[in-house]
Amino acid sequence: MSECLQAEIDPLKMSEDYLNGVLLAVDVLAFSPDEYPSAADQPVCLVAAAHTNGLSSISKAYVRLFVGATASELEEGQVLRGFLSYLDVFDGGTVAAHYGAVDSLDDGFDLPYMLLRSRDCHPELYPGLRQALLRFRKHDTCRFVKERLNVPSADLEYVEGYYGLQRPEEARVDDVRAALAAYWREGDRAVIRHALANAYNTLRIAQSQIRKSICCTDIPL
């Protein structure tokens, strides 16, 4: 005779044990027309970060945004300093990015680009940023898709759809440099929505990948 068993699981407690801290998703935008420039020759102008303590798709997510006022090394230093202060709040955990939670610029963008820019242009920040990131395990959502899922594309927008997430039309940006310039010139917030969507959706994708399930909650930005 079959049985139906029911148990209550605290997803926060379970995920804290697994993650050994916080789950943090990062998106880095440089002053380049390409979202993933191949050389670290343009300043980091925006860093979006989303974090949660849970693997549940309904766990609360908190988002922080660090935006420079211009595409200059001086403003880049302020962006990186703000992000480093944010990282120092956490004792460690898992850091996720889509094509960016890797060690080399040959393999991805976000974390290696940020570290290269800090090493070459802001050496006073580099040791602290490097040590802060070493406290985290890395989870690259793009690499996970390429290695474990049989899907036609690993692009973020395609992967969002695969995991049941939506991206508002106003959060789509084709030219990051032009979108940043429009934000500074006339207050057009498309690049802000774009970065927030990148970080938030990467966080929810990472949750599902770590849980090895397809169950995300679409929360409008």
Q: Domain segments of the chain: what residues?
A: 20-211
Residue 20: predicted pLDDT = 61
> Tell me, what DSSP letter sits at residue 169?
G
CA–CA distance, 123 with 121 (Å, rounded to integer): 6
pLDDT tens readout for residues 177-221: 999 999 999 999 999 999 999 999 999 999 999 887 444 444 333
Residue 22: predicted pLDDT = 87
CA–CA distance, 186 with 182 (Å, rounded to integer): 6
CA–CA distance, 155 with 218 (Å, rounded to integer): 18
Residue 60: predicted pLDDT = 83
Asked if residue 121 has pLDDT above 90, the reply is yes
Residue 34: predicted pLDDT = 78
Query: What average pLDDT score do residues 19-34 get?
Result: 86
The pTM of this model reads 0.86
Contact 203, 50 (CB under 8 A): yes
Q: From residue 191, give the alpha-carbon distance in Å to each of 64, 70, 105, 142, 184.
A: 14, 14, 23, 21, 10
Q: Which two three-digit tokens encode residue 159?
A: 């992967």
Instruction: Measure the CA dihedral 35/164/171/207, to 10°.
Output: -60
Task: Name the CATH superfamily housing domain 20-211.
Answer: Ribonuclease H-like superfamily/Ribonuclease H (3.30.420.10)
Q: Which of 34-38, 60-64, 187-191 shows the lowest mean pLDDT across its residues?
A: 34-38
CA–CA distance, 21 with 88 (Å, rounded to integer): 13
Opening angle at CA 123, ends 121 and 125, nearest 5: 105
Q: Which two three-digit tokens encode residue 213?
A: 């399930």
